[in-house]
Amino acid sequence: MVMEDNTRKTKQKITIITVYKVCNQPIEKAGPTTAISQQWQTSQRENRGNENMTDSTIIDLKLFINSDQNNGSEIILCMDANETANHTNFTILKLYCKCKLCDPIVMKHGTKSEPNT
């Protein structure tokens, strides 16, 4: 998507990404139509081995975001991360830091009573 700023007469590329990061659960316990099962089946078709689906989502997302940022795009990330962003060990917070993103909802309202999704 290219947005035009009428005040500056410049064009800015914006990439809007929507992501659902699956819960961390064993694939053996997942139903056949669950998101984690579908992602696992795709990874098997791509010969990606027995990777952790939650970790691979973040790794793939980071690579995609970095590539778009290097091509001059601004990023809008809409994500159900199935975790809170208020703990330093969580993967979503690490993604924010490595990709230089921010969470405007957390910036406005804080994380005191933030739900996992």
- Average pLDDT of span 23-40: 85
Q: Could you report the per-residue pLDDT of 52-98, keeping only the tens digit for each?
A: 888 888 899 999 999 999 999 999 999 888 877 666 557 888 888 89
SS3 content of the chain, % helix, strand, coil (to 5): 40, 20, 40
Structural contact between residues 95 and 61, judged by C-beta atoms closer than 8 angstroms: yes
The residue ranking higher by pLDDT, 9 or 83, is 83
**What is the C-alpha separation between 92 and 97, in angstroms, rounded?**
9
Structural contact between residues 29 and 40, judged by C-beta atoms closer than 8 angstroms: no
**What is the C-alpha separation between 32 and 15, in angstroms, rounded?**
31
Q: Which amino acid is at 36?
A: I
